[in-house]
Amino acid sequence: MADPNVSLTHKMEAKCISALQQCDVTGASALMDVSWDILGNVQKRAVTRGIERRGDKIPEHMGIDEKQVFARHKYFTIITDLKEGRVHDVIDQRKLSCISPWFEERKSLLENVKLVAMDMSAGYERIAKDYIGRATVCFDRFHIMQIVQKATDETRKNEQKTMSDEDKKMMFGARYDFLYGKENLPEKNLARFEQAKKIARRTAKAWAIKENLRDMWSIVRDDVKEAKIYFDKWFWWATHSRIQPMQKAAHTLKRHCEGIFAALRHGVSNALTEGINNKIESIKRDACGFRNKESFRTAILFHCGKLDMMPRVP
């Protein structure tokens, strides 16, 4: 049995879906002896079927995150279900004018959202205020550390401009070392990193401030009272560092500190965000790129949406 205007039987389509779930497109094509185009149509029908079966349900705990999908600053906004650990939907672009229609269309359903985790961009904050006003806003570790990492990298770039050509060359090679956590820095980079810290003292100080904030989660865990004490001490250090990018980052976090503490209180972590980001990167690599955004969106929902996509086989 097959759907109208579809060449594959339900049984064959189910096998193709299983193959796509286990292999990349090249492997699934070879295994099933069907073309990429046919598999693309199978994937599209599967996602459509899964979304229809899921219905209008909106996540009670929602994540809103941006993801760069192509070069030249082309982004998706990824809506996640934090409780179920899945992608709920993918919206083209991240601009307020592009994502507002999605939320406007679901305005009445969004009253059921109890918690929303997101970054600190003005557009997403506006969305939360206009459409999810009853929800508790949380800022997880992933998005917080993005801000201080950016400040650290900006400090490095500023300091590098004043260096000799020889030191500039060495610092260029060590540029990613300052973005690592101290325990994650590859052993082969340690000597270069220690040398870079001696040459770039302001950057080394910014890195130490970044690492001190990162330690907050392992030290205070879910103790919000202790987190507030820790954060206030960190804020004093960052704002008195005389490092302008880090001072700016500290004031940004201070304005959003209630969302930081709410994330601790509700146990909102960066695990799902990082896991989904890694999965999306893997999807992009396995497909050797996508012809268009719609195909990429379909692939993300296929692999990360936890949808009920199989055709009903008699």
pLDDT in tens, 200-248: 999 999 999 999 999 999 999 889 999 999 999 999 999 999 999 999 9
Instruction: Give the Cα separation of 109 and 88 in Å (integer).
Output: 14
- Three-state DSSP at 166 gives helix
Q: In whole angstroms, how far apart are CA 105 and each of 98, 99, 101, 136, 264?
A: 13, 11, 6, 21, 31
* Nearest residue to 94 (alpha-carbon basis) of 77, 117, 78: 77
The pLDDT of residue 71: 63
Q: Please give the CATH number for the structural domain made up of 61-139+269-303.
A: 3.30.420.10
The pLDDT of residue 2: 47
- Three-state DSSP at 117 gives strand
The pLDDT of residue 208: 95
Instruction: Give the Cα separation of 206 and 248 in Å (integer).
Output: 12
Q: Which H or E run includes 101?
A: helix 96-105
pTM equals 0.84
For the chain of 314 residues, list the mean pLDDT of each consecutive stretch of 10. 63 89 85 86 93 93 85 81 93 88 94 92 89 92 92 93 88 87 89 90 95 94 94 98 97 95 88 82 70 84 93 74
Question: For 93-111, what is each residue's pLDDT tens digit?
Answer: 888 888 999 999 999 999 9
Do residues 313 and 10 touch, judged by C-beta distance below 8 A?
Answer: yes
Q: Where are the domains of the chain?
A: 61-139+269-303, 141-258
